[in-house]
Structure formats: structure tokens, C-alpha cells
Amino acid sequence: MAAVRYPALDVLRGIAILGTLGTNIWIFTHPQGLIGYLSGTPDSGWRPVELVLQWLTQGKFLGLLTVMFGIGLALQQASARRAGLAWPGSYLWRAALLLVDGIAHFVLMTEFDVLMGYAVTGWIVAYLLVTTPRVQWRVIAGATAVHMTMLAAITAAVALAPRSGGGPSILHPNPYADGSWWDLVIFRLDNAWLFRIETMLIFPLSIALFLLGARLFDAGVLDERGATLRRRLMIAGFGVALPLDFALELGVPGGAGLLASRYGTAPVVALGVLALVAEYYHRRPDRARSLAGRRLAEVGRMALSSYVLQNLVASALCYGWGLGLAAATPAEHRVPVTVAIYAVVIATVMTFAHLWLRRYDRGPVEWLWNTTYRAVTVRSGTAADERKPRPAHR
């Protein structure tokens, strides 16, 4: 049986990749990077605009990206079945290579990398996919319950913690503004446990969303079988979770609301986004060939390369080892400059994806990853059949 092509699939991946940058760009443009972002931003005339822009992306596209990884796992399992291969089989090598990629990305480029966590999650979920749907739903329910219990405890602790009147903390020295690229590498290594806390805290949620993505795919969320499912997801995401998400993040001060929305309601909103895009492209598959559809799909086709590239470009624009725009931008202009930098980064990523895929059928990081995978699995006879980027079929 030939693989089915879903018009919305690559578009959703592209939206998820560029959407995560919508949250991360505020970290890049803060003069003290992630440390400054977590410690708070001084009020300015643009603060209401900043809060709304951050709310629009906070946690929602991270949730979408996580669900899309789960859908990707289900697709790989289906491909293995069509080829008569055991599952998870050599997928474990793919997870190991993704972990190596994530470690390199974290050390060399950005402290808020998601690939490491996805690699470990994918390794576990790959085994869970061979269980029955009933078992998988039980795991989803159990992991969600664990996550929500932890989230409630942490949110309550943050809400009840005494407020500090000392203002945002200041880094001395500040490696983001004044350090070299190597200084930032050392800084990440020195604070690795701090920077990896989020990955560990949301591990149960990642398990649940990976498995949920696989179950939704099997239920037909991307095809004609899923009309009722998509409608229900949109009601839950936009009719229930979105207003609550807005009230939590913008109405509850002190960080407690942000925690509850980012890790509680935002993933449900992400399911609404998934359903909306899937429904749109199911009803109008021709729109996948529109200019916007093609550009987003190209980013999605080389999602790993696009994710790495957008973080590299943003780092080069904002950090001291590059143009140093974060530290050079006055606080009162930070919001419009951040929006401008975001536009430049996504334009760069889209342009690169378009030009690269005109010649090759996979992104450079994907090619390197796949070539390494083929090399380490060649003895098993399940290696990928491509040794280099092939000319794209026009």
C-alpha cells in the first residue's frame, strides 16, 4: 500500500517551527537572554502589546510541535509496517541521533533546545506504539494526570511565594551581551541543569502529547474520517481553552498564570490549531499550492534544518558575538525591534528552505542526520537508501 500524502502535514510542521520562534524571539532580544527573560521585563509603553504578542504564541506552538512529533512517529511506524519491518526496530538509532543533535544544538547554539527531550520521549513512545490503543489511552490519561498534579503544585508554590521587591536580576558578567560565542558555550554547560529543568518538568506532558498525536493520526485527524474529531478539537481548543488561556496568562500576575497557561491550557489550544489547519486543507487541498502554503510546507519539509537555522540567525542578530542588537536596543524600542527581527528571521528561513528545496529533496541537517543513520544501520539492512541530497523532482 502506497503512503498517503496529507496536504496539511508539512504546513502544520512549518507553522509549528515558525510559531515556536514567536515565543523564543523574546528571549533572544532580551539583553540578558533567557536569564533576563525569566527574571522579568521592565514596564514600558509597549508592555501591553508585548504581553498580547507573547500570549498569542506562548506554549501553543510548542504544544503543536510536540503533537506533530507524535504524528511523525505514527507515520514512521506505518511506513515500517508497509515495508514489512519490525517496529521500533532501527528507529532507536534515529532517536539516538536526534539526542546527539539536541546536545550539539544545546551546547553550541541555544539553551532552550527541545530536541533532547523529544529524542528521549520518542524512544519511549516508540515502544508504547506497539501496545493496544486502550493501553495507549491509559498512558495518556496517566501521564496527563501526573503532569497536571505537578503543574498545580508548582503553580500554587509560585502564586504563594513572597514577592521580591528588588527588581530583575542582573548578570555580571553578561555573556549574552558581552561574551564571545565560546563564553556562551561555557555558560550553558555551567548552568546545564538549570536550563534543562523545563524539559524534565514537562516530560509526562511530552509523553502524553506524543501518544495523543499518534492516536489522533490513527483516528483520521488529517483525512476525511476526522471531520467530527476536528470539530470537537476546535471547540475544545478555541471555545474552551483559548478564553481560559487568555484569562490565566494576562489576568493572573506573578508568573503563576503564565505557568498554568503555557503548560495547561496552551496544549489544548494547540489541538484546536491542528484541527483548524487540517480542516482547511482537507476542504481546500488546492490551497497547499498557494504561495503561503508552499512556503510553509517547505519549512515543514526541512523542519529540523529550519529550527536550527532560525536559532542560529536570531543568535547572530541578537547576541554580543554577532550584531549585538539585543543589548544595543533601548528598552522603549524593544517590542518593535523584536517584531522586526522576527520578520527578518522567518523571511531568511523561508527563503533558504525555498532555494534549498529547489535543488534537493531534504534539508541539510536532515541529510546529515539521515546519512549518519544509514551509516550506523548499514549492517542491519534497514539503512536509508540516500547517501547525499538528491536533486528534487520538479
Distance CA 304, CA 118 (A): 12
The tens digit of pLDDT for each residue in 229-246 reads 999 999 999 999 999 999
Segment of 31-35, 93-97, 154-158, 305-309 carrying the highest mean pLDDT: 305-309
**pLDDT surpasses 50 at 386:** no
- The pLDDT value recorded for residue 42 is 61
The b-or-e profile of 340-369 (16+ CB within 10 A means b, else e) is ebbeebbebbbebbeebbeebbbbbbbbbb
- The pLDDT value recorded for residue 1 is 44
Q: Distance of CA 202 to CAs 117, 152, 257, Å?
A: 9, 13, 16
Q: Distance of CA 159 to CAs 128, 153, 168, 242, 245, Å?
A: 36, 10, 18, 22, 17
- The pLDDT value recorded for residue 21 is 95
Question: What are the φ and ψ backbone dihedral angles of 387, each rounded to 5 degrees?
Answer: -100, -15
Percentage of the chain surpassing pLDDT 90?
71
Residue in this structure with the C-alpha cell 547554539, named with its chain if needed: 109
Mean pLDDT in residue range 99-119: 94
- The pLDDT value recorded for residue 114 is 93
Inter-residue contact 319 to 342 (CB < 8 Å): no
Strand partners, 391: 360
Distance CA 82, CA 295 (A): 30
Distance CA 4, CA 391 (A): 22
Q: Which of 237, 223, 207, 297 is nearest to 75 (CA)?
A: 223
**Count of CB atoms situated within 10 Å of the CB of 155:** 21
The tens digit of pLDDT for each residue in 248-270 reads 988 887 788 889 999 999 999 99
The b-or-e profile of 275-292 (16+ CB within 10 A means b, else e) is bbbbbbbbeeeeebeeee
- The pLDDT value recorded for residue 41 is 65
**pLDDT surpasses 80 at 167:** no
Instruction: Give the count of alpha carbons within 13 A of 122, CB side only.
Output: 32
Give 330: exposed, middle or buried? Use CB within 10 Å, 0-12, 13-18, 19+: exposed
**pLDDT surpasses 70 at 154:** yes
**pLDDT surpasses 60 at 280:** yes
pLDDT band at 384 (very low <50, low <70, confident <90, very high): very low
Angle between helices 203-218 and 60-82 (to 10 degrees): 50
The per-residue pLDDT of the chain, averaged, comes to 89
- The pLDDT value recorded for residue 90 is 87
**pLDDT surpasses 90 at 27:** yes
The tens digit of pLDDT for each residue in 56-66 reads 999 999 999 99
Distance CA 385, CA 394 (A): 20
